[in-house]
Structure 1
Amino acid sequence: MIELSRFLNTSAWNLSGSERNPCLWDGVVCSRPDNISTLESLDVSNNSLSSIPNGFMTNCGTLVGLKQLNLSRNQLLDISHNRLSGNFRDYGFDALVQLTNLSLNFNKLASPVPTNLAKSLVNLEVSDNLLSGSIPEGIEDYQELRLIDLSDNHLNSRLPSSLGNLSKLESLLLSNNHLNGKFPESLSKIQTLSRFAVNRSNFTRTIPPGITKHLENLDLSFNLLNGSIPADLLSQPKLVSVDLSYNHFVGWLPQSLSNSLVRLRLGSNKLTGFVPSAAIESLQNLTYLEMDNNKLTDHIPPAFGNLLSLNLLNLEMNEFTGILPPALGNIASLQVMKLQQNKLTGEIPDEIGLLSKLLILDISWNALSGSIPSSFSNLAELSNMKLLGNNLSGTIPDSIADLNSSVHSTQAWSKPA
């Protein structure tokens, strides 16, 4: 193995110059002059190399043991963050027959997804390029793949069902493309698949059942998905984070939610009906919950008060009615509570003043009445509070002035005449 420090003087490294023998370059030591046929790993990252010599990749292909080539963060395999352009095949990566990791992120390669790479490939990262066309059915030939990252490209076709045959795949990242068609149900066969992200990719159909069977992280946000959320989608035991926001999902929330969930985002859909209390009570690990900008109705369940790990609760822009549950004051870890633009009535409970870590409180544009609780003076961390657009009366409590105004600012107060 040869590893070359970023502190080396590489200005004289030039195969086309007068000194063509790399073993005589500054900082390079060869155990046998001009013979490095046993090379397994070459790392020249974090230097100032500006080009890859003609035939370099092909010649590397003769090194039968070469498994890792890192050229990243030069001015040019990790060859990410360079300025490579043109067709993927022009660079001769297919000559690296023992390659296991290939990172070409943040370049300008414009071609179809390559299909002639080493079958030993474990990690394929070609995000933030200009790849186009479809993911080929032949992707199943790469049985060692654990990571595929083709996000932020111009892929514009359906996902092949053969993806489900990659039995070792752990992460499939395809976000910010122009994919279409339906999700292949075969993905549920991959027992090792823990992360699937295909947000911002223009999917327009429904989600097949079983797709989260083995997943921990799912991101389908900012698509055009429709239909109801499958009953089993949010209940799978390994789920940690799910983002379905900014789609066109309709119908009621699933009645069963996984108790392993830490982050759940369902905002900006067309969901209706009530929030099931039994499902909410099981979310003891939840820290982040968004159900905003839907058409949810009925009361806000007091069961939310049992989510003692919750940092953010966003239920804004729905059609919730009834009172603001005093039980919300039990969520000692809560930092953000956004309940604006609903139809809440009654008085603001004193218990809200128990939320000592609260940074943002927005309960504006409801139909709340009564006075502003003096207990709000206990909200020592508060930086933004909005109460406008209600039916509050009385005076602003003098105790509010006890808040440290040099650090915190209270915004958008409203007291009708």
Structure 2
Amino acid sequence: MKMQLPYLYFTFILCTISFKAPVMRCQNVTCNSTDLRALINFSSCIDSGIDGWDISSSGCCSWNGVTCDNSTTSSKRVVKLELARKGLGGSICKSFEGLDELRILNLSANFLTGYLNPYHFSLQKLEVIDMSNNDFYGQLLHGDDLPSLWYVDLSMNRFSGSIDATYCSMSPLIEVLNLANNYLIGEVSESFVKCSSLQHLFLNGNQISGTFPKSLLQLRDLRTLKLQENLFTGSLNDGIGNLSKLVKLDLSFNRFNGFLPDVFDQLETLEHFSARSNKFSGQLPKSLVLDLSQNHLGGSIPYWIGTFKYLLYLNLSSNSLTGEIPEGLTELPSLIDMNISLERFATKIWSSIPSLDLSYNMLTGHIPPSTGKLRKLHILNLKYNSLSGPIPGSLSRMTSLETLDLSHNKLSGEIPDTLRELSCLSTFNVSYNQLHGEVPETGQLATFLCTSFIGNPGLTCGWDAYSPPAQTPPPPTPVVFPSDKMTIMGWPFVFGVPTGFVITVGFCFVTGWIFPKPEKRKVRVIRIGR
């Protein structure tokens, strides 16, 4: 039996090798000769080649970033070329024409440069082009006929010139078009009306001018529209209400002016709207608003704003709003009980912290005691207004509150002792009001410095009690009196250095270190001679 064990072991190894052999042959299957030639032409213009590409081999289906189809033929076709973030440099100087089965082309986040010409991408089955975050320049990529194309991302390059909708004419299926962060100028072409399938359009971070493009108002399936950081002017057309499927609309950092059209109630799917840093004026519309900071909006805050069931973030700072804070603002369901909106937010990602920012306005009146109902609110900023009256003790019920800024108002009375219960509070400021009494010495408020309470002449704050937490003191600096200061060039130095030098040289001469005495020299010679 012992003699048979090595034999059985050897037989097992042979069977394993014979089983793996067909698999290895399948992995090294050759790709189509036309595809291989196109890939070799492409790699010839890439600086220092491409890692994982052996151009001497015909098995290009195993190359890094290359995916072939699942056909059973011995010569497979390339369907994906994905080389994102591979550190590729150089240009695209050869045509991809041979890759007529290619569906996905992703060369994003590399160091590629040069022009993109139509003959680079004359591929009938191409569905996705992602050339973002490179250094391509010149006119935007155009193609003759790409009937299957639905996704184009050319953002974060150096493309210049005007914007047209060539993509829409060459592909009726285009859904995503990202041209953000380039050097595009001029107005948006009216030919965008041909983009009937467009759902996501990103034109932010360019130098596009003109009024709001009317052609975009015809895109009924549009869900994301980003036009921020451009040079758009004029008022916002009422026709924006036709974009009933919009989920995100960002017009911030432009030069829009005039009234905001009261059409937001028609945008039932809208989740995010930002128009900050424009020149909008007039009153707030009676429909969904989120970020309208840094404009010229006036009038009062409408009471019905509390009827927005899913509003988590409201920023109306840096405007000219007047009147009192409406009670309706404290009725926002999503800031009272987040569970109300769990179903709606199950498939959405919110980056904004639940906030209410009404700072830098001209609001008057009292802070509504019902504000304490907003238990899910994280940030409440009411600074730089003209609010008066006491600080409601009911604010202690805002158990999620992290930032509370009531500074630079006309608030009076004492600081409610109940605010010490705000255990999550990390930023607190009631400076420059008309408060009096003593600062609570227990709870969360005891952790803040007196700088959070200054500017209230009647408010007592012990500086010692609100100094920073004790730290290990540094070693004491020795006291140096004027007579103890060290002087480098003084009379002791002037006399000491020459005297020491003379004594040292004289000692060397006397002892024979420099010029030995004759008898000692003789002894040395004799010793060497031996």
Normalised-by-shorter TM-score class: 0.7 to 0.9
Choose which of 129, 147, 166 in structure 2 pairs with 1:69: 129
Secondary structure of 1:181 counterpart: strand
Choose which of 435, 441, 462 in structure 2 pairs with 1:396: 462
In terms of mean alpha carbon deviation, does 334-343 or 77-86 score higher?
Answer: 334-343
Choose which of 196, 206, 212 in structure 1 pairs with 2:273: 196
Choose which of 333, 337, 340 in structure 2 pairs with 1:260: 333
Note if contact 2:313-2:356 (Cα within 8 Å) is conserved in structure 1.
Answer: no
Choose which of 419, 423, 427 in structure 2 pairs with 1:352: 419
Partner of 2:497: none
Superposed displacement of residue 9, structure 1: 7.1
- CA displacement, residues 49-83 of structure 1 (integer Å, 9 cap, x when unaligned): 10233334xx64x5444332110111122111111
Structure 1: gaps (5+ residues)? 23-33, 263-282, 408-417
Choose which of 292, 298, 316 in structure 1 pairs with 2:383: 316
Q: Distance in 1 between matches of 2:367 and 2:87?
A: 65
Q: Distance in 2 between matches of 1:127 and 1:302?
A: 41
Name the CA shift for 1:187/1:206 in 2 (closer, same or farther; >3 Å).
same
2:126 corresponds to 1:53: no
Superposed displacement of residue 88, structure 1: 2.3
In terms of mean alpha carbon deviation, does 335-344 or 150-159 score higher?
Answer: 335-344
Q: Distance in 1 between matches of 2:429 and 2:107?
A: 52
Partner of 2:39: none
Note if contact 1:43-1:69 (Cα within 8 Å) is conserved in structure 2.
Answer: yes
Q: Distance in 1 between matches of 2:292 and 2:282?
A: 12
- CA displacement, residues 145-189 of structure 1 (integer Å, 9 cap, x when unaligned): 221111111111232333322333222221111123333344532
Choose which of 74, 84, 91 in structure 2 pairs with 1:6: 84
Note if contact 1:345-1:367 (Cα within 8 Å) is conserved in structure 2.
Answer: yes
Superposed displacement of residue 199, structure 1: 1.8
Partner of 2:452: 386
Paired residue type of 1:228: S
Paired residue type of 2:180: N
Secondary structure of 1:180 counterpart: strand
RMSD: 3.3
Superposed displacement of residue 110, structure 1: 0.4
2:107 corresponds to 1:44: yes
Q: What are the residue-to-residue correspondences of 1:19-30 with 2, within 5 Å?
A: 20=94, 22=96
2:208 corresponds to 1:131: yes
In terms of mean alpha carbon deviation, does 322-331 or 117-126 score higher?
Answer: 322-331
Secondary structure of 2:240 counterpart: helix
2:460 corresponds to 1:364: no
Choose which of 140, 146, 149 in structure 1 pairs with 2:226: 149
Partner of 1:106: 181
Q: What are the residue-to-residue correspondences of 1:180-329 with 2, within 5 Å?
A: 180-209=257-286, 211-212=287-288, 218-257=290-329, 258-262=331-335, 283-284=336-337, 287-329=354-396
Which structure carries more helix by proportion?
2
Higher relative contact order (CA 8 A, sep 6+): 1
Note if contact 2:113-2:135 (Cα within 8 Å) is conserved in structure 1.
Answer: yes
Larger radius of gyration: 2
Superposed displacement of residue 380, structure 1: 6.9
Note if contact 1:139-1:162 (Cα within 8 Å) is conserved in structure 2.
Answer: no
TM-score, normalising length: structure 1:
0.74
Q: Distance in 2 between matches of 1:116 and 1:357?
A: 53
Superposed displacement of residue 295, structure 1: 4.5
Superposed displacement of residue 399, structure 1: 5.4
Secondary structure of 2:299 counterpart: strand
Partner of 1:170: 247
Secondary structure of 2:201 counterpart: strand
Name the CA shift for 1:204/1:65 in 2 (closer, same or farther; >3 Å).
farther
- CA displacement, residues 201-220 of structure 1 (integer Å, 9 cap, x when unaligned): 211233443x32xxxx6222
Name the CA shift for 1:38/1:191 in 2 (closer, same or farther; >3 Å).
farther
TM-score, normalising length: structure 2:
0.59
Q: Distance in 1 between matches of 2:284 and 2:396?
A: 37
Note if contact 1:138-1:162 (Cα within 8 Å) is conserved in structure 2.
Answer: no
In terms of mean alpha carbon deviation, does 64-73 or 341-350 score higher?
Answer: 341-350
Name the CA shift for 1:356/1:95 in 2 (closer, same or farther; >3 Å).
same
Paired residue type of 1:386: S
Alignment identity in percent? 30
Structure 2: gaps (5+ residues)? 1-78, 137-151, 339-352, 473-530
Superposed displacement of residue 323, structure 1: 3.8
Q: Distance in 1 between matches of 2:237 and 2:132?
A: 31
